[in-house]
A and B are shown apart, each in its own frame.
Chain A
Amino acid sequence: MTKPSLKKTLNDLETKKISIKELNQDYLKQIKEKENLNIFIYFSEDNVLEQIENLEKDNSTKKLNGIPIAVKDLFCTKSMPTTAASKILENFNPTYESFVTQKLLDEGSIFVGKTNLDEFAMGSATNTSFFGNTINPLSKKNEPLAPGGSSGGSAAAVAADLCLGATGTDTGGSIRQPASFCGVVGIKPTYGLCSRWGIAAFASSLDQAGIFSHNVEDASILLKSIAGFDKRDSTSAKVDIPNYFENLDDDLNGKTVGIPKEYSIDGTPMEISQIWEDAIKVLEKKGVKIKNISLPHTKYALPTYYIIAPAEASSNLARYDGVKYGFRSEEIDSLDAMYENTRAQGFGREVKRRILIGTYVLSAGYYDAYYLKAQKVRKLIADDFNKAFQECDFIVTPTAPSAAFPLNEKQNDPIKMYLNDVFTVPASLAGLPGISIPFGKDKNNLPLGIQILGKHFDEQQVFNAALSLERSYE
């Protein structure tokens, strides 16, 4: 079976080989068949049919006309509820459309549903959702695997062929790691490339929207669609968005790739080291200069991330208090009781853990030792990359320290779970673009991912390198 592709489908739609209705009905059928994977928090066939009807009435030519897209349930959408996978927003219906999803709608895409995620995007296995685990579509019978997280639902939706692309958000690896686990392409662009307006916030200085797709070409088409300046987001960047797809070029001859020695970590499975080496060899064959680089503060990235992200989260999630919208506890004898019970009952364990950590690190007397220190280290990590990029055009590393692990394996060990982000977090802290593409399999035939990191706003180079590796792997 040839893999479906957005690019080919667009062509088929244009040449009328297939109608929007036919195309989407195929996807609707598959979504219903794979309901057991618990990929969607919200799915309504009627809603999708209505969208198709509206599109068919509209004759204008749009870039993504009729393309089925799955949306991570962290993006606020007018036509579907938005929960952030939390009980506290269980019945929340936004009156507004996020910047990213509005852009996709403007281009004529069809939203097949809202995908599952870790509650408020906090997790690496899509197992902290109030709406239950998502199961990795690549699982063998009776051996359910985690799809990674937090955007596990979106990665799984692409992997299970329930859409031609999906939106995700990545704070410390939440697009790249699940892409690796599910064997799809996932790109987190430069911080500021896509507006955060309308995305329920986890950690504002790190959150960034991105794309899942079947291949690099599709990702380049979709990223162009969701990128752009938005005056409603003060951290949104005023940069020209190139036509990534038109500019794709897999000829890397004369380029230099950086290989950071700090990413060779004790305990990394052989298979992971192997695909990394394979990727380097492929690049070398293509005339790419291999440059060993050092990112000396890498080992501090995880602790830094797990101070900054919870600190921001503890404040960002304060708005969920039962006063204005969302869940409110029944036990509200006093204002304090309303807060305590609403938040105790409305948030899950992992979210509460991170709110506690974040509150602690911002407390008087601890602020300097934790938060302020972490900000300083963050700067050093960013400086490491800036220095490294003076010597290379892009950096190649593994995406995650393992293939998809069994569901529930690390559920009771948060530290082990946090280690999943070891390769993805540094680029998040530095705000750099990163893509994960499938590159090789482990001994159980599960996909493994290679991560390509680029300079700020150099998504084109990231795509080009990814395309080159993808073509050599296929």
Chain B
Amino acid sequence: MNNLIKGEKHDWEMVIGLEIHAQVKSNSKLFSSSSTKFGSLPNSQVSLVDAAMPGMLPVINKYCVEQAVKTGVGLNAKINNYSVFDRKNYFYADLPQGYQISQYKYPIVGEGKVTIDFKDGTSKDIRIVRLHLEQDAGKSLHDQNPSKTYVDLNRSGVALMEIVSEPDIRTPDEAGMYISKIRSILMYLDTCDGNMQEGSLRADVNISVRKPGEEYGTRCEIKNLNSIKFIKQAINYEAKRQIEILESGGSIEQNTMLFNTSTGKTRPMRNKEEAHDYRYFPDPDLLPLEISEEEIGKIKSSIPELPDELKNKFIDNYKLSNYDASVLTADKQTSDYFNQSINSDPELKNHAKIVVNWITSELFSLLNKNNIELKNSPVSPENLGQLIKLISTNEISGKIAKDVLEDMFSSGKTAKQIVDDKGLQQVTDQGEIEEVIDEVIKDNPKMVEQYLGGKDKLLGFFVGQAMKKTKGKANPKILNDILKNKLNKKN
């Protein structure tokens, strides 16, 4: 695959690494018992600890630790039995303690990897450097008053997992696939709700460019991107910016950048000289975090099937392609739906590809059109299974099935009900079809003449006419066979 981008003078390769900040799914914060609910009134979920009142002390939320371990297992990573919370010191109005409790030298999770799958059937591993736990800061609201900044501390102290990748990513698409895969794993594990709009999942992107085969170039970091679209846009813009500088003989300054979502451009926030000295040191209010192998084992055994395992199972059991299986398993809702649907009738196992197609194209397009999530689909997996069974047993044609699905979608009725009510069963009775064909031939003598004169393409016309008369219910194969037979006899 060619991942290079063309510059004015030569080709360039992007080198990209991601730091993903995923909010841990938990009811309470990392070091306090305040609620983590999104969208509550400002400062309504702030404990004395979150507001950094004098003498207040952090106490680790064990559930968040378990969630981090679970995630580590999902990322095929090493879980560290010993990890340490450090203080990252800096001043900001929405950082009440004047430091963020994070993990620096000793993170809870070490090296791991995730696999991304391409359409052409190939796949690639992206290596994970580490995952660590840290607190989120509050929120500064600059737009509420012309001369004041307000601070909302609801988010202050909420647990985040920072997942750091190696610079293994080479294209914006790979970056998008990587973050989608991480999101999918987190959602299967139920360790993060994956909601990028609400900020539950955000990423910092490190990017540099180089001539293929050369050493890594100087990188810039684009902060706080909260959609896959923006991540791709920001990477594209930033890579182009860096290439232009390099090709005009300049050099890249190691900057921290911000991405403007309305202009689609990046701009520097601070350079290396202005970088903070965070003065990390172990937080003396907290003991080192020790997790026994036994505890890790317990957490491991509670982990559900993950997308890659499920993907392989789908490939083995249903002979699906790698890509089809990865599309199905990218989202737990989809794989659950597929599972329920295909298991609703033993017959369907032999028609897995049809089930996949009906879910990912027909059903998805209806859901999209109506802006409904799969979990709220008016067509249950069992009912879709029933519909597909009707197709596979030739009771209805694929074409009619589309109409039936739309009907199911709006009325909530089962496929069988609709087919019975409307008499949509496919006509497979030879005699009945012969009668229709005879009529069509009789009514269109000129066309018959032309067909016999060599215009083979007109066969379609006769099929169409016959279908019209049977309201689309005639079995197309039988119809075709009889039609050819009869026309040829005329010869």
Contacts and interface: CB of A to CB of B under 8 A. Distances in A.
A363 interface: yes
A199 B51 CA distance: 15
A317 B98 CA distance: 8
A324 B285 contact: no
Contacts of A317: 98
Contact of B151 (A84, A95, A323): A323
Chain B contact residues, majority secondary structure: loop
A371 B281 contact: yes
A367 interface: yes
A98 B59 CA distance: 16
A27 interface: no
A311 interface: yes
B135 interface: no
Given A197-B55, A318-B97, A324-B52, 5 more contacts: A200-B55, A234-B57, A311-B281, A318-B91, A367-B281
A394 interface: no
A339 B91 contact: yes
Contacts of B93: 323, 335
A198 B286 contact: no
B287 A362 contact: no
Interface in B83-110: 87, 89, 91-93, 96-99
Contacts, number: 95
Interface string B26-60: 00000000000000000000001001111111111
B284 interface: yes
A364 B88 CA distance: 12
A204 interface: yes
Closest 8 CB pairs of A and B: A318-B98, A204-B284, A362-B279, A205-B284, A200-B54, A319-B52, A198-B55, A364-B277
Interface residues of B, number: 30
A321 B52 CA distance: 11
Max count, chain B CB within 10 A of own CB: residue among A89, A94, A321? A321
A319 B287 CA distance: 21
A92 B59 contact: no
A196 interface: yes
Contacts of A76: 53-55
Max count, chain A CB within 10 A of own CB: residue among B87, B89, B151, B281? B281
Contacts of A231: 59
A118 to B, nearest CB: 16
Contacts of A324: 51-52, 96
A228 B79 CA distance: 34
A6 interface: no
A139 interface: no
A362 B281 contact: yes
Interface string A27-60: 0000000000000000000000000000000000
Contact of B59 (A198, A234, A363): A234
A84 B91 contact: no
Contact of B98 (A197, A321, A362): A321
Nearest to A197: B57
Interface string A175-216: 000000000000000000000111111011100000000000
Contacts of A318: 89, 91, 97-99
Interface residues of A, number: 43
Nearest to B285: A204
A133 interface: no
Given A323-B93, A335-B93, A362-B279, A196 B55 contact: yes
Contact of B53 (A94, A311, A364, A371): A94
Contact of B55 (A98, A359, A364): A98
Interface in A330-376: 335, 339, 359, 362-364, 367, 371
Given A82-B54, A321-B98, A324-B51, A235 B89 contact: no
A473 interface: no
13 contacts: A92-B54, A94-B54, A196-B55, A197-B55, A199-B55, A201-B54, A311-B281, A315-B281, A319-B98, A321-B91, A339-B91, A362-B279, A364-B277
A52 B280 CA distance: 48
A371 B280 CA distance: 11
A232 interface: yes
B285 to A, nearest CB: 5
A234 B279 contact: no
Nearest to B32: A232
Interface string A290-333: 00000000000000000000011011011101011100000000
Contacts of B87: 315
A312 B284 contact: yes
B48 A96 contact: yes
A312 B86 CA distance: 12
A323 B96 contact: yes
Nearest to A86: B54
B128 to A, nearest CB: 26
